[in-house]
Amino acid sequence: MRNPPFPSLRRALPRRPRSGFTLIAILVMIVVLAFLALAAVSTGIVQERMAGNARDRNVALQAAEAALRDAEVDIEANLSLTSGFSAACGNGLCLAPSMTASNPSSAPRWTNLDWAEQSRAYGSVTGATSLKGPGNEPLASQPRYFVEMLPSLPAAVGNSVCVGCTTIATEKARAYRITVRATGVRDSTVVMLQSVYVKQ
């Protein structure tokens, strides 16, 4: 029997790999890469939402700060003991719960206030222009506030309550508590602020 021609060449040829195993390995790698890409996209969406929420909260906070300043201008220019403060909070002018004779309590007024009926809108008294968000985007609603007249302040040490008066004692300083509710561009973003303003 004759030897086949080029026996060394026949031995040098590599064996063919099985193509099924390679295909499975490639498919597994594609699935892993797809999951990694999906996780990256999901993380990007979550971060974008977080940034949007933080931005809208900042817008609402700035609107609330502007409303506090608006309320202070209102107090300084328009409010006094005879301005119509009542327990019913008509027109956003309230007596502090601890000052009502019928049922004194210290429960916060803002917890049971009807913000649409018992508060003042930003600029409604002072004539300030409407607030807007970034890019002149309108806010979900203009900030609203109400003012509570607090009990009279005691006289400073060494002074009389009647300093500067003639016959009837007059209060030289009165404290007012301002509570503001503001929204951002989305109505689900709400910020409430409170401050005490003393009118001399």
Does 4 map to a domain? no
Does 2 map to a domain? no
pLDDT in tens, 59-95: 999 999 999 999 999 999 998 888 889 888 889 999 8
Which residues, including other chains, have CB under 8 Å from residue 49's CB and lie 6 or more apart? none
Give pLDDT tens digits along the chain (200 positions).
Answer: 556 555 555 555 566 655 567 888 888 999 999 999 998 888 888 888 888 889 999 999 999 999 999 999 999 999 888 888 988 888 999 988 776 655 555 668 888 889 999 999 999 999 999 999 888 889 999 999 999 998 776 655 655 555 455 444 455 578 899 999 999 999 999 999 999 998 87
Does 10 map to a domain? no
Structure tokens at 77: 């220019």
C-alpha–C-alpha distance, residues 190 and 172, integer Å:
36
Residue carrying the six token digits 């490639």? 26
Structural domain of 91 = 19-199
Beta strand 93-95 with 120-121 is unpaired
Residue carrying the six token digits 């300093």? 163
Please give the tally of structural domains in the chain.
1
Structure tokens at 76: 């300084």
Inter-residue contact 82 to 103 (CB < 8 Å): no
Does 109 map to a domain? yes
Does 7 map to a domain? no
Structure tokens at 174: 């009165």
Helices (H) and strands (E) in the chain, counts: 2, 5
Residue carrying the six token digits 């201008």? 73
Strands (E), the chain: 93-95, 120-121, 144-149, 174-183, 190-199
Does 181 map to a domain? yes
In the chain, the N- to C-terminal Cα span, in Å, equals 125
- Whether the predicted model's global pTM rises above the 0.75 cut: no
Residue in 198, 200, 148, 152 with CA at minimum distance from that of residue 177? 148
Does 13 map to a domain? no
Does 141 map to a domain? yes
